[in-house]
Structure 1
């Protein structure tokens, strides 16, 4: 006579206890996975946070969009929207959050639907196979949402690309040809074409240096320079990108804002690193607890049988 038949009440209690242990082990495993995802998100954020913080202050570390001053003829400005770096970066983070939420929830829903099929129900009894299937579902959903994200942005990027693209010299670009048809003075043209050279792929450093030098000279000699409507942050980033420092008074006026952005960025980086380390420690602890409970349930099941 088996131990289960000799002690039916005890066997029933053991079965209930096993069910509780398995549920606890599953919860710990999910919490461990969640902690790993927090760790991964924190690591990604550590590298992306500086751009986000700079955008919050209206700054970038390189010329990313074409800024056209109000002194440029309307025939030119109609071709390009004015840059909004903070909005663009917030949109990027919005898509990131959307992709994380929809990918995780969608993957769980996909596993739940697949488990209703006999073929998958049998194989999903293994936690490893279930996790692999869930991970594949996350990757597929993430890839689909990423394709959608960049497909929606293609129109704006394509418009700017055609505006600043040229094969041999900057005079071939559409923006340069449009400027030639206007009455904009040489300083305004230099401001626009300096950005065009920095936005060109690859960067046309020689042309950019020439036009930025012209802007530096104009700021020193033209009394009405400030009336052109040039963006100080754009002047700063062009000089920073080419010379590694601000060269003119208007560009230097942006430096305190840059220093403040760097201070905030350093604080944010420290906080994110702390979160990453803490989440990794929690993930390891939860994994060890889950493994210990799994081993305990397996030993109990072996003793029962």
Structure 2
């Protein structure tokens, strides 16, 4: 009888050991899920913050407007000036391209850092170095920064050296007088009407850094007076209402002429979308922050529990 009892107790202890190890594996898997959820909440929160920061610019770009003038627009009536400057600059395309690069850098750096840490832990030497959560998080952060830096360098090499963008920047540069700018010289060398010249020079004064407000105001006033006397000719020159709307609101703080008044409706619609998306993104950021704290606390409790269990196994 005693032998049977001993055998059953041995089998029981082995079964308990197996169940104990299975429970330990499940507990570790649950902790890993908590950590993955915590990192996902962090990534979504960062993306929401970035989206909130660039929210207005992105939505305005879809409506082809901006709170301030961003690019030089050369109408078809000034083709001779356009030929001297180069290809037409597309601010909307540049903005979308920049935002896509930002999303690419965030996602690739985040996912790439996870894979780097995962494969690094496969090496025996690094297993000891990356044993704790703090060491793993530090390795993840370093990997993220290195990947981000590499992608930023690639972006600079492939996109940052855009000669077309440089040509437009150089065309509006001058030291003290707008007559020193390339745009003014191109206008003088070309036979274009005075309103077209005023349109181009007003943009040049605004885009110049620092902005030449008085000169821009003078040219915009001349252009407004021309529109008042010849309202039908504005469209025939190829002027963009959005461009004039941006200049007038940036310099005068309001829409001055009828040619640009239709853009007020577009701007109001864009502002409503901006306000709504800001509310949604703000709520999303708060939710991500709460989830991050929640998953962090769960991970902390599971880590402490696993630590106690592993300590008991060692003893």
> TM-score normalised by the shorter chain: which range applies?
over 0.9
Deviations 1:127-184 (A, max 9, x none): 2111111111111111221232234233233221211111121111111111110011
Q: Identify which of 89, 93, 106 aligns with 2:112.
A: 106
RMSD between aligned residues: 2.1
Q: For the residues of structure 1 that align with 2:118 and 2:283, how far apart are their CA atoms?
A: 35
Q: CA deviation at 1:12?
A: 2.9
Q: How many residues align structurally?
A: 303
| Aligned position for 2:160 | 153
1:187 correspondence with 2:195: yes
Range with bigger deviation, 14-23 or 174-183: 14-23
1:176 correspondence with 2:184: yes
Moved over 6 A (4+): none
Q: For the residues of structure 1 that align with 2:25 and 2:119, how far apart are their CA atoms?
A: 23
Q: For the residues of structure 1 that align with 2:210 and 2:31, how far apart are their CA atoms?
A: 53
Q: Identify which of 266, 272, 277 aligns with 2:286.
A: 277
| Aligned position for 1:54 | 60
1:88 correspondence with 2:94: yes
Range with bigger deviation, 222-231 or 4-13: 4-13
Deviations 1:182-230 (A, max 9, x none): 0112211111111111111221112211111111111112342332111
Q: Identify which of 136, 143, 150 aligns with 1:144.
A: 150
| Aligned position for 1:288 | 297
Q: For the residues of structure 1 that align with 2:49 and 2:228, how far apart are their CA atoms?
A: 44
Q: For the residues of structure 1 that align with 2:228 and 2:156, how far apart are their CA atoms?
A: 42
| Contact 2:62/2:92, CA 8 A, preserved across alignment | yes
Q: For the residues of structure 1 that align with 2:25 and 2:165, how far apart are their CA atoms?
A: 55
| Aligned position for 1:247 | 256
| Contact 1:73/1:184, CA 8 A, preserved across alignment | no
1:226 correspondence with 2:235: yes
TM-score using structure 1 length:
0.92
TM-score using structure 2 length:
0.89
* Matches for 1:31-42 after TM superposition, within 5 Å: 31-42=37-48
Q: CA deviation at 1:114?
A: 3.1
